């Protein structure tokens, strides 16, 4: 009996240890953040969109949870602004306590020694969201699918579309693909289609007169107008935007298997920031169920790993193709191979 | 023969050189340096020729250069035919409504290039383009059934058309001043000898104005070679690739491949230097031959077109429809909808002002507008003054080293805005320039834009200075006036049309510029163009971007019309 009780006590302690370990660092971080009283956040979420709150909602919610912290928010949008942030950090200017880079910018930032290495897993961030070497976390997700025009592809046929249909002769010249086809980068991975099958598919797309579009929204608009029958590798968020502002009846979205899923944008804490604890608190909160719920609400890009998000509902029961970190790190090289196979003029 | 330099001229020359080194040579040098390194500028790799091997070791590069030469030649030919014709018609003939047409020619400057190209896609895309749908309906009424087209904007012809139309205002502004101040005595002599309008134009007017025309076409050809908007928006879907598309696809990683991009840009740089050398040999060294404004007074004479007056006006109206009315109509239509759709009864019911409401509810709008004004005014004024200084040194003073000065000024065309911005970030965030506190202010944006636009402005002022015979300045100096007084009271009034035309061009481009301000402006110093870029590229909100584009066009139209009124009032109406 005594031995049994002892075993139970040990098991309970062991189970409680992670929670205790997690609670301790967070408690310390909260205490540290109280002294700092401020956090400067520069990430990709829009402050407002069409009058509806975006990052504004995130800031309000965060502030309600940590009222001692004043949040100074600024949007850091596309690649040019991220280049500015990276260059500023390398030159010694720390404009934000929490900011964002693309996956492939991270090695450059690491080489320039501008990222604070943090054990995010110990702070409770889901492991799949943690960038290797503790250099940051992926806080948004994207699901890729096939958007189609319901007048040209009836709903019953649309619900059966496969990735191979993107190169089918019956859709010759009527298919658009993003000029950076991320879904093909994901398929390139050995555990999904593999290199040879993906490049063969890219060559078939080229031979089938597929149109490459640089502007995702313009591609979706042209789809709605009937210029295209399908947009392959469409972002779910772009489709969502289009039907929200346009004619819902025109467009359908097929989540074809394997479903490409990527966790993009690496959020990190710059080395030497004056508010390190506040910065950690923001990041941990944004990767919490509450933070992901509000991100899903304002942007539709909540993680599929958190129940209740739109992404979680979309992929339920489906075979997934995750963009694994080791391949995300060489996304540029993979992309160049794919683009070359697709017939784009690429020098490498 | 080169004269000995008075010390004031030497000092002036050194000051101008110092400014150009600061603004242009440093970013250019950094760009060329990075072409020999891999990796990001903040964490560069070792020196090597790898980027050059990759860039120039591929046969694809040469195929793309050939494609680009065809594209640029076609675009420049279209631009030249239209712009030079209009410059002659508006400045030398009695075509009706000249003043209005002159002002209307400035409106395309106000239209952002991406929006212009996108508008034409909605008009002429093969299946659902508005014009194509209308044409198919028309053909159908004659029993001809087409499944798509008949016009396909995703073609080399479509790209040349768009690029050609976009260049008209620039070339017009560069040459209109020259047509205006040309002494009509030569033409009168031609008419007196019995030559008709067309023969006089071909054998007298155009050859005499060769410096202005050459400078304009040279600039336009170089611009077409690096043109990006039409090749991206039309060429990519149409699978027609040129040099700029290839560079974009090859270097546009999440971490841009600056080294490879710089290796490609090096060929633009050499090409630009080659063009400047040609220009120097063919024109600058023989500047006196092209002087058309001398000491004798003259009254400009208008060539009478007779019954062709209204045909000429008709041609202008046709141009205006294609260059302004159609694309602006698409933008206005799009700006009033939640998402673009073709005109229909259902669409009419959805028209609203929400996108304009979104723009006007932006808290930073007023501040952005003020920043835009500061940037445009200061950039235009400083750029044209610097360009005039360079032109005087190159064309008039002909100091030793002026060829290199001219080359450096023109070669700034070859340095992408993003490279200028990056080098400025480094420069102004590190000692000693960090102490100036310019980083994040509008003033740093102004400096970077001056570096970008001095290339164009210098072509315009070169041509203008070349037209003024030096006897006018010599007469002033002989009468005891200082060099500065001569420049201000004799030279400047004569070149004012070209000066103001260049000012308008630079101001309009500074309003539209987003690449440099996006990277250099701080939170409180962002101009409207950055807002437009956010809407277009990052939020992918085409209707809101169209709304802001329409507002910018309206503002710029007022500005350019006002500038034009100043020119007309100062010199008497044409």
- What does the alpha-carbon distance between residue B295 and residue B297 come to, in Å, rounded to a whole number? 6
Q: Is A255 exposed, middle or buried (0-12, 13-18, 19+ CB in 10 A)?
A: middle
> Is B429's CB within 8 Å of A108's CB?
no
Domains in chain A and their CATH numbers? 2-140+264-299 (3.40.190.10), 141-262+310-347 (3.40.190.10)
- What does the alpha-carbon distance between residue B381 and residue A321 come to, in Å, rounded to a whole number? 56
Identify the pLDDT of residue A22: 45
Alpha carbon B386 to its chain's center: 17
Q: Is A230 exposed, middle or buried (0-12, 13-18, 19+ CB in 10 A)?
A: buried
**Nearest-10 crossing angle of helices B492-512, B442-467:** 140
CA distances from B434 to B328, B439, B513 (A): 43, 8, 25
CB atoms near residue B410 (< 10 Å): 27
> Is A246's CB within 8 Å of B339's CB?
yes
- What does the alpha-carbon distance between residue B315 and residue A334 come to, in Å, rounded to a whole number? 51
Average pLDDT on A204-211 reads 94
- Provide the b/e sequence for B516-542 (b: ≥16 CB within 10 Å): bbbbbbeeebbbbbbbbbbbbbbbbbb
Look at the block and give the residue holding tokens 């600058």: B284
Residues 14-73 of chain A with CB under 8 A from chain B are: 46, 49-51
ipTM of the complex: 0.77
Query: Any chain B CB within 8 A of the CB of A212?
Result: yes
- What does the alpha-carbon distance between residue A190 and residue B262 come to, in Å, rounded to a whole number? 34
Q: Is the dihedral of CA A158, A161, A166, A172 positive or negative?
A: negative
Pair of tokens at residue B92? 């030398």
**Cβ-contact A39, A281 below 8 angstroms:** yes
What band does A37 get if pLDDT is binned at 50, 70 and 90? very high
Select from A248, A115, A107 the least CA-distant residue to B39: A107
- Assess whether pLDDT exceeds 50 at residue A18: no
Identify the pLDDT of residue B254: 57
- Which residues of chain B lie closer than 8 angstroms to A83, CB-CB? 256, 418, 422, 519
What is the DSSP annotation of B154-200? SSHHHHHHHHHHHHHHHHHHHHHHHHHHS-THHHHHHHHTT--HHHH
**Cβ-contact B163, B77 below 8 angstroms:** no
Residue B37 DSSP class:
E
CA angle B428, B430, B436 (to 5 degrees): 50
**Option in A176, A242, A346 nearest B339 (CB):** A242
Pair of tokens at residue B568? 């007309």
Look at the block and give the residue holding tokens 């798509």: B148
- Provide the b/e sequence for A132-147 (b: ≥16 CB within 10 Å): eebbbbbbbbbbbbbb
Identify the pLDDT of residue B218: 84
What band does A20 get if pLDDT is binned at 50, 70 and 90? very low
Helix (H, G, I), strand (E, B) or coil at A106: helix
The count of C-alpha atoms lying within 13 angstroms of the C-alpha of A276, restricted to the half-sphere facing its C-beta, is 9
Helix (H) or strand (E) holding B49: none
- What does the alpha-carbon distance between residue B450 and residue B412 come to, in Å, rounded to a whole number? 10
Identify the pLDDT of residue A2: 58
In chain A, the residue whose alpha carbon lies closest to the alpha carbon of B258 is: A83
Pair of tokens at residue A84? 């500015």
**Cβ-contact B371, B511 below 8 angstroms:** no
CB pairs under 8 A between A and B: 160
Helix (H, G, I), strand (E, B) or coil at A115: strand
Question: Which residues neighbour A270 within 8 Å (Cβ) at sequence distance 6 or greater?
Answer: A89, A94, A96, A97, A99, A114, A115, A116
- Assess whether pLDDT exceeds 80 at residue A13: no
**Cβ-contact A163, A201 below 8 angstroms:** yes
Question: Which residues neighbour B62 within 8 Å (Cβ) at sequence distance 6 or greater?
Answer: none
- What does the alpha-carbon distance between residue B291 and residue B293 come to, in Å, rounded to a whole number? 6
pLDDT in tens, B18-59: 999 888 888 888 888 888 988 787 778 889 999 999 989 988
Average pLDDT on A301-320 reads 89
> Is A246's CB within 8 Å of B341's CB?
yes
What band does A277 get if pLDDT is binned at 50, 70 and 90? very high
Pair of tokens at residue A180? 């950076």
> Is B249's CB within 8 Å of A346's CB?
yes
Pair of tokens at residue B94? 């009695």
pLDDT in tens, B91-116: 889 999 998 898 899 889 888 888 89
Q: What are residue A264's DSSP bridge partners?
A: A140
- Assess whether pLDDT exceeds 80 at residue A38: yes
Helix (H, G, I), strand (E, B) or coil at A303: coil
DSSP H helical ranges for B283-344: 309-320, 326-335
**Option in B342, B523, B539 nearest A46 (CB):** B539
Q: φ and ψ at A75, to 5 degrees?
A: -80, 130
Identify the pLDDT of residue B42: 78
State pTM to two decimals.
0.82
* Three-class secondary structure assignment of B234-268: HHHHHCCCCHHHHHHHHHCCCCCCHHHHHHHHHHH
- Assess whether pLDDT exceeds 80 at residue A178: yes
Look at the block and give the residue holding tokens 């072409």: B35
> Is B358's CB within 8 Å of A51's CB?
yes
Alpha carbon A256 to its chain's center: 19
What band does A159 get if pLDDT is binned at 50, 70 and 90? very high
**Nearest-10 crossing angle of helices B309-320, B59-92:** 140
Question: Which residues neighbour B141 within 8 Å (Cβ) at sequence distance 6 or greater?
Answer: none
Look at the block and give the residue holding tokens 């025309």: B213
Rounded to a whole number, what is the distance in Å from the CA of B411 to chain A's nearest CA?
24
- Assess whether pLDDT exceeds 90 at residue A80: no
**Cβ-contact B491, B464 below 8 angstroms:** no
Q: φ and ψ at B442, to 5 degrees?
A: -65, -25
* Mean of the per-residue pLDDT values of chain A: 87
Query: Any chain A CB within 8 A of the CB of B542?
Result: yes
Query: Any chain B CB within 8 A of the CB of A84?
Result: yes
Average pLDDT on A209-229 reads 89
Average pLDDT on A149-168 reads 95
Query: Any chain A CB within 8 A of the CB of B358?
Result: yes
Pair of tokens at residue A232? 């392959």
- Which residues of chain B lie closer than 8 angstroms to A336, CB-CB? 250
Residues 139-198 of chain B with CB under 8 A from chain A are: 154
**Cβ-contact A145, A236 below 8 angstroms:** yes
Pair of tokens at residue B14? 């050194």
Identify the pLDDT of residue B515: 79
In chain B, the residue whose alpha carbon lies closest to the alpha carbon of A95 is: B522
> Is B341's CB within 8 Å of A225's CB?
yes
Pairing of strands A38-43, A98-101: parallel
**Option in B61, B429, B539 nearest A49 (CB):** B539
Alpha carbon A81 to its chain's center: 18
> Is B253's CB within 8 Å of A335's CB?
yes
- Tens-digit pLDDT string for chain B (574 aa): 445 555 777 888 888 989 998 888 888 888 888 889 887 877 788 899 999 999 899 888 888 889 999 999 999 999 999 999 999 999 889 999 998 898 899 889 888 888 898 899 999 999 989 999 999 999 999 999 998 889 999 999 999 999 999 999 989 988 887 787 777 777 788 888 888 877 888 888 888 788 778 878 888 888 888 887 888 888 888 888 888 888 777 776 656 788 888 888 888 778 877 877 777 776 666 655 556 555 555 556 788 888 889 999 999 999 999 999 999 999 999 999 988 888 889 889 999 999 999 888 887 888 999 999 999 999 999 999 999 999 888 888 777 788 888 888 887 877 777 778 878 887 887 778 888 888 889 999 999 999 999 988 988 888 778 777 777 777 777 888 777 787 788 788 878 877 888 898 899 899 888 878 888 888 789 899 888 887 877 677 888 889 999 998 888 888 777 777 766 665 444 4
**Option in A112, A217, A347 nearest B542 (CB):** A217
**Option in A225, A332, A343 nearest B128 (CB):** A225
**Option in A87, A224, A225 nearest B425 (CB):** A87
Identify the pLDDT of residue B571: 47
Residues 508-527 of chain B with CB under 8 A from chain A are: 515, 518-520, 523
**Option in B245, B426, B538 nearest A91 (CB):** B426
Identify the pLDDT of residue B96: 93
Q: Is the dihedral of CA A324, A326, A331, A333 positive or negative?
A: negative
- What does the alpha-carbon distance between residue A200 and residue A189 come to, in Å, rounded to a whole number? 14
Q: φ and ψ at B195, to 5 degrees?
A: -75, 150
């Amino acid at each position: 009996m005594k031995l049994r009780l002892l075993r139970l006590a040990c098991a309970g302690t062991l189970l409680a240890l992670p929670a205790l370990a997690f609670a301790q660092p967070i408690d310390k971080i909260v205490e540290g953040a109280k002294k700092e009283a401020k956090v400067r956040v520069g990430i990709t979420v829009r402050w407002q969109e069409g009058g509806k709150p975006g990052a504004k909602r995130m800031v309000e919610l965060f502030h309600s949870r940590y009222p001692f912290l004043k949040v100074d928010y600024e949007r850091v949008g596309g690649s040019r602004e991220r280049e500015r942030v990276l260059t500023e950090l390398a030159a010694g200017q720390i404009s934000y306590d929490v900011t964002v880079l693309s996956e492939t910018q991270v090695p450059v930032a690491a080489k320039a020694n501008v990222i604070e290495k943090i054990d995010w897993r110990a702070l409770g961030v889901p492991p799949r969201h943690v960038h290797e070497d503790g250099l940051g976390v992926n806080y948004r997700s994207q699901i890729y699918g096939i958007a189609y025009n319901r007048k040209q592809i009836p709903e019953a046929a649309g619900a059966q579309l496969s990735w191979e249909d993107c190169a089918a002769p019956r859709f010759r010249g009527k298919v658009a693909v993003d000029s950076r086809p991320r879904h093909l980068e994901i398929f390139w991975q050995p555990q999904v289609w593999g290199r040879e099958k993906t490049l063969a598919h890219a060559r078939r797309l080229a031979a089938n007169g597929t149109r490459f579009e640089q502007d995702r929204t313009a591609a979706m608009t042209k789809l709605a107008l009937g210029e295209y029958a399908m947009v392959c590798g469409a972002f779910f968020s772009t489709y969502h935007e289009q039907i929200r502002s346009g004619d819902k009846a025109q467009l359908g979205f097929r989540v074809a298997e394997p479903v490409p899923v990527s966790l993009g944008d690496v959020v990190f804490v710059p080395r030497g920031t004056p508010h390190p604890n506040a910065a950690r608190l923001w990041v941990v909160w944004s990767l919490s169920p509450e933070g992901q719920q509000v991100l899903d609400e304002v942007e539709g890009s909540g993680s599929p790993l958190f129940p209740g998000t739109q992404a979680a509902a979309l992929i339920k029961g489906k075979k997934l193709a995750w963009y694994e970190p080791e391949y995300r790190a060489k996304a540029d090289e993979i992309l160049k191979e794919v683009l070359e196979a697709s017939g784009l003029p690429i020098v490498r | 023969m080169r004269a000995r330099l008075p010390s004031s001229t030497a000092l002036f020359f050194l000051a101008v050189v110092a400014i150009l080194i600061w603004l242009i040579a440093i970013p250019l040098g950094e760009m060329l340096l990075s072409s020999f390194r891999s990796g990001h500028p903040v964490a560069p790799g070792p020196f090597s020729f790898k980027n050059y091997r990759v860039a120039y070791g591929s046969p694809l590069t040469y195929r793309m250069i050939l494609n680009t030469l065809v594209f640029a030649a076609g675009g420049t030919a279209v631009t030249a035919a239209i712009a030079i014709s209009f410059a002659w018609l508006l400045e030398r003939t009695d075509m009706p409504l000249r003043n209005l047409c002159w002002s209307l020619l400035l409106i395309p400057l106000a239209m952002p290039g991406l929006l212009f190209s996108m508008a034409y896609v909605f008009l002429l895309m093969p299946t659902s383009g508005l014009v194509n749908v209308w044409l198919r309906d028309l053909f159908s009424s004659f029993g001809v059934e087409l499944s798509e087209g008949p016009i396909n904007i995703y073609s080399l012809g479509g790209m040349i058309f768009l690029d050609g139309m976009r260049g008209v205002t620039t070339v017009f502004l560069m040459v209109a001043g020259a047509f205006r101040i040309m002494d009509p005595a030569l033409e009168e002599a031609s008419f007196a000898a019995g030559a008709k309008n067309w023969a006089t134009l071909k054998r007298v007017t155009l050859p005499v104005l060769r410096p202005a025309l050459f400078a304009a076409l040279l600039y336009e050809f170089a611009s077409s070679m690096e043109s990006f908007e039409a090749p991206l928006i039309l060429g990519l879907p149409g699978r027609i690739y040129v040099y700029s598309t290839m560079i974009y696809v090859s270097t546009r990683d999440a971490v841009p491949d600056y080294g490879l991009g710089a290796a490609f840009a090096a060929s633009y740089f050499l090409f630009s230097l080659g063009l400047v050398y040609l220009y120097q040999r063919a024109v600058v060294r023989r500047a006196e031959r092209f002087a058309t404004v001398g000491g004798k007074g003259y009254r400009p004479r208008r060539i009478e077109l007779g019954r062709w007056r209204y045909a000429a006006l008709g041609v202008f109206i046709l141009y205006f429809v294609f260059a302004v009315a159609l694309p602006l109509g698409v933008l206005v239509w799009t700006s009033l909808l939640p998402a673009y759709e073709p005109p229909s009864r259902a669409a009419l019911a959805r028209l609203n002002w929400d996108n304009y409401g979104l723009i006007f509810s932006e808290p930073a709008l007023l501040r952005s507008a003020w920043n835009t004004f500061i940037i445009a005014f200061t950039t235009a004024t400083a750029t044209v003054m610097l360009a005039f200084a360079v032109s005087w040194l190159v064309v008039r003073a002909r100091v030793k080293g002026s060829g290199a000065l001219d080359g450096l000024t023109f070669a700034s065309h070859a340095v992408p805005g993003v490279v200028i911005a990056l080098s400025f970030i480094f420069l102004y965030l590190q000692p000693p320039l960090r102490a100036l506190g310019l980083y994040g202010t509008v003033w740093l944006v102004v400096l970077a834009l001056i570096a970008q636009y001095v290339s164009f402005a210098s072509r315009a002022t070169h041509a203008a200075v070349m037209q003024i015979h030096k006897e006018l300045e010599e007469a002033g100096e002989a009468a005891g006036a200082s060099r500065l007084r001569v420049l201000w009271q004799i030279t400047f009034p004569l070149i004012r049309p070209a000066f103001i035309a260049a000012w308008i061009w630079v101001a309009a481009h500074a309003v539209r510029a987003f690449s440099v301000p996006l990277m250099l402006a701080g939170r409180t110093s962002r101009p409207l163009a950055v807002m437009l870029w956010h809407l277009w590229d990052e939020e992918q909100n085409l209707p809101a971007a169209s709304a802001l584009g329409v507002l910018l066009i309206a503002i710029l139209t007022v500005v350019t019309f006002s500038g034009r009124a100043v020119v007309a009032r100062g010199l008497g109406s044409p």
